Structure 1
């Protein structure tokens, strides 16, 4: 999977960009605040219909105009995709794939798969559980239409159940009404958890191999799925495949926390409270890992994410690296570049070329950006 062509109009600081991508390796060079990250963000937006920085689409439209346009051509080995997105202030975005309008934004997922890596990704280890759930959801949403559907359904059910719990806490609704929402929470939540558990098991396998190579066998990385009801150590090996067993455990938690939920007016059970654990030599990386260990952990996880997505779809995703070369020491930098070279289309931003080996640059398309223009 690779992006062959990128077209932008009135996007961020770009008046107009028409970029033909001629290499698997693209190094985007420029001083700070010239538009390097904006270009990566555009590729990410064309894959997911969302920004990894902005909260509102209006922030993506160039100041002083009312409309922006993004487009790209994706070579998918079998069926190429032409993705077009039009953003208009105070109106819903319009998305087409191969000239066909998409009814739901979720349907864009899978046409262009991406993995991002930036200094902010340290929050995957250092941040709260929400960061890790978002990571899992983005990874799985790109490779599984069923997971995308379940997440959307679950979020709707959760909102409705929370609204009802709030009314019950204020004595404005009958607690018996919860039963219907409990069933929907249970059905969809169990499917989400089973898929997460399976994905984390596969991701952990790839990450362990990568981490072993980076550290030359000096450390052992373990990634564990931590469901809302406790540690995975408490879950039998086959329990994730046994839907009835998982359902019974989930239902038990609903019953146990019923009174607490009605008093607080909030759902306290379900996959919206899941987490991931990262351990090096059985020690929690978040609490006990050094900055270097945390960086290596995230690096291994991101490379594992690439392999996981390839295993699921048969195609490598596009890799977006935002100012990470300066964050890695020489050993990790060479390992990372050597791993992705020739296999994964990679867009890398940098303020200069001095951190890249000459052999890498000789294979790369170097794109220089000055104030939102190719130079």
Structure 2
């Protein structure tokens, strides 16, 4: 899979941009603040319906505009598609596929597949659990796009359940009768049902990523591993063991996870009503990363943390490549952050990719093995060097 043309209207710093692309390596070079990252961010948005830099769509719309449009022509084998997203902060976003009528944005997920590595990825190792949960969920959706609906449903149910618990907690603190909790059993059922599906997909993903991440780390930093990935669950008894079936790594079934989540919710109900928040579920889980016997967070050096973050992205890339069309690989301003040894190793690993998009402040930061088409980016303009 590769993007053959990227078109932007009022996206970030671009009033208009038309960028022809092709397979192989394309590098966007220019001083910081000129719009290089905005281009690859647009590709990532088409793949995930989100940005790796900001939590909402509002900053993606150019100042003074009320909407932004991101459009890409995509080729996979002998098939070409045109995908378009219209970003409308404060209103529903819209999407089109092959110039058809509007569809829900999540219906275009999977048309563009991409894996991005950016300086922000250091937070995967050093940051809070929320970033690692997002990493897992975005990769889950990249593997199975329909799970975007499951993820959205879980967030909706969690919000409603938390609202009910918060009302109950506030009433109790102020000596009132308390909120009507008669519907809490129903919300427990909903949360456990969608939570079990999301949890199972995360567990299966971690099983699939483990060998790939360990291999990628050895390639980037030989002799520095092994790498360990452990899914830490908020269930009091941990994740129930499943029956080992070829291909699932012994992951528990959705029914088993549903039962475990439902039981756990019942066990903490008193504490939840007192605190006004849901205490069990995928929203409280974490992915624990290890180097050798030690957790990477708090123990890994800066260089080790970079290598581990890079290994997670390379493992994601390898997994998606195994299971479907090869994704677009984005390397956003990362070579300047790496030492010479890691820089060369990374370049050698990604050079064979079907499409690799690179951003750099200066051409010298990009290893020669990634010689390809180069674009100069300056003051919102993009042109071939």
Distance 1:187 1:211, change over 3 A: same
Aligned to 1:334: 344
CA deviation map 1:12-69 (0-9, x unaligned): 2223221111342111000111111111112122223333334443433333344433
Q: Is the 8 A contact 1:58 1:89 kept in 2?
A: yes
Say whether 1:324 aligns with 2:334.
yes
Aligned to 1:163: 163
Aligned to 2:150: 150
Paired residues for 1:225-240 under 5 Å: 225-229=231-235, 235-236=240-241, 238=243, 240=251
User: Quick one: which of 239, 260, 263 aligns to 1:249?
Assistant: 260
Which 5+ residue runs of structure 1 have no aligned equivalent?
none
Distance 1:11 1:150, change over 3 A: closer
Runs of 4+, deviation exceeding 4 Å: 88-91
- Partner-residue secondary structure (3-state), 2:274: helix
Quote how far apart the aligned CAs of 1:151 are.
1.1
Say whether 1:29 aligns with 2:29.
yes
Paired residues for 1:1-375 under 5 Å: 1-77=1-77, 79-87=79-87, 91-169=91-169, 170=171, 171-229=177-235, 235-236=240-241, 238=243, 240-312=251-323, 314-361=324-371, 364-375=372-383
TM-score (ref. length: structure 1): 0.92
CA deviation map 1:199-236 (0-9, x unaligned): 0110111101111233333421111111112686x753
RMSD: 2.1
Aligned to 2:174: none
Distance 1:252 1:100, change over 3 A: same
* CA distance in 1: counterparts of 2:291 and 2:236, whole angstroms: 20
* CA distance in 2: counterparts of 1:372 and 1:103, whole angstroms: 30
Which moved further from structure 2: 175-184 or 63-72? 63-72
Q: Is the 8 A contact 2:124 2:131 kept in 1?
A: yes
Which moved further from structure 2: 96-105 or 221-230? 96-105
Q: Is the 8 A contact 2:332 2:359 kept in 1?
A: yes
> What is the aligned length?
371
Which moved further from structure 2: 57-66 or 180-189? 57-66
